[in-house]
A and B are shown apart, each in its own frame.
Chain A
Amino acid sequence: MGFFERLFGKKNSADSAKERLQLVLIHDRMDLTPAELDSLRDDLIATISRHVEIDAQSVQIGMEHDGRSQRLVADIPLKGASRRRAKRSK
């Protein structure tokens, strides 16, 4: 990497390689295409919505890894809880 690239804040190539690989490996290991992951997300939202009211727009699904083991992590904010709490405080 040259002086000017560094001067203009261009990332060094080893860092780009590592970051790109991190993403590629997550998808390779998961064995799910982005489209399949979207459909999993929709199914999750539909199932959970049958039981509790959730904020479907803010649902986040991501992968975490610890060594070679992968974990699907979902963050599903509930709608009901905050509203009920608000009602009670009235």
Chain B
Amino acid sequence: MPAQVITITSGKGGVGKTTAVANIAVALASEGAKVVCIDGDIGLRNLDVILGLENLIVYDIVDVIEGRCRLRQAMIRDKKLPELYLIPAAQTRDKNAVSPSDMNRLIKDLRNDFDFVLIDSPAGIERGFKNAIAPADRVLVVTNPEVSAVRDADRVIGILEAEEKGPGSLIINRLNPTLVKNHDMLSADDVLDLLAVELIGIVPEDEHVIIGSNRGAPVAFDPKSRAGQAFRNIAKRLRGEKVPFLDLDDTGGFWQRLQRLAGRK
């Protein structure tokens, strides 16, 4: 079966697109899927460091497009997961080095050899974003429960609909259950009410994410991490499994446990 091509985008920068790509890729490959992820953020590449593969880069995506190497030569195999590959972005070029039709051609060559092609879109709604969504079968929009990220996600969803790529599925990243409980953060339901799109994952704020990126080992590898679990669930949903959303109410604090014991939720 040909690959599912999935682009992860957000509009706003810094909401966790690259982290999401790395973790979903790791989770899919850990379950035996053949996965290639492509860093679409030319000039600001980061997927390589998040995956811990920065020392292995020889060629990049622009080298492939401009014919300096073959596609296979630019594909870096993960150190732990033999079915996971990365095609890195070029660091010394800009977004105009690639066009949407270049991306379509490149992805066409990958479709038959993989189960999943994940594309990490740059922030913004300009050329890099257009390149990243051109070959997509499906688009995941990452947002945080925070006003500017939700507003930008709405813009991106509008553009996806206009380009007939949408509306896309939503990942609500970095949700803090304690703040939500105190009504000082938009809840997942609030965000869904506002954006009116399908939800594919809620990822709680989790310090393991930073620890993982420090080490170049995404949290999806860590069986104890709640964020890791959330990303593994997203991977399962992408494979068509029905997985219930995590109960984020379970913050485990003394007061919460006492309230639960007392029957107050």
| CB-CB under 8 A for A14 and B151, given A29-B158, A68-B161 | no
- CB of A13 within 8 A of CB of B184, answer yes
Task: Indicate whether A24 reaches chain B with its CB closer than 8 angstroms.
Answer: yes
In which size bucket is the chain B interface? Answer: 20 to 34
On chain B, the residues within 8 Å of A68 by CB distance are 157, 161, 167, 196-197
Binds B, one of A15-23, A37-45, A54-62, A80-88: A15-23
| Chain A at the B interface: SS class | helix
In the bound complex, CA of A7 to CA of B160 (Å)? 44
Query: Among residues 1 to 21 in chain A, which have CB atoms less than 8 Å away from a CB atom of chain B?
Result: 1, 12-15, 17-18, 20-21
Q: How large is the interface on A (under 10, 10 to 19, 20 to 34, 35 or more residues)?
A: 10 to 19
Partner of A1, one of B150, B183, B186: B183
A-B contact count (CB 8 A): 50
Q: Which residues of B contact A20 (CB under 8 A)?
A: 147
Interface of B is mostly: helix
User: Given the complex, which residues of B lie within 8 Å of A73, measured CB to CB?
Assistant: none
The CA of A21 and the CA of B241, in the complex, are separated in Å by: 33
Asked if B208 is an interface residue, CB under 8 A from chain A, the answer is: no
Find the A residue at minimum CB distance from B150.
A21
| With A21-B147, A22-B194: A14-B186 Cβ-Cβ less than 8 Å | yes
15 A-B residue pairs with Cβ-Cβ distance under 8 Å, sorted by A, are: A12-B182, A13-B183, A13-B184, A14-B185, A14-B187, A17-B146, A17-B147, A18-B194, A22-B194, A24-B151, A25-B154, A28-B154, A28-B155, A68-B196, A68-B197
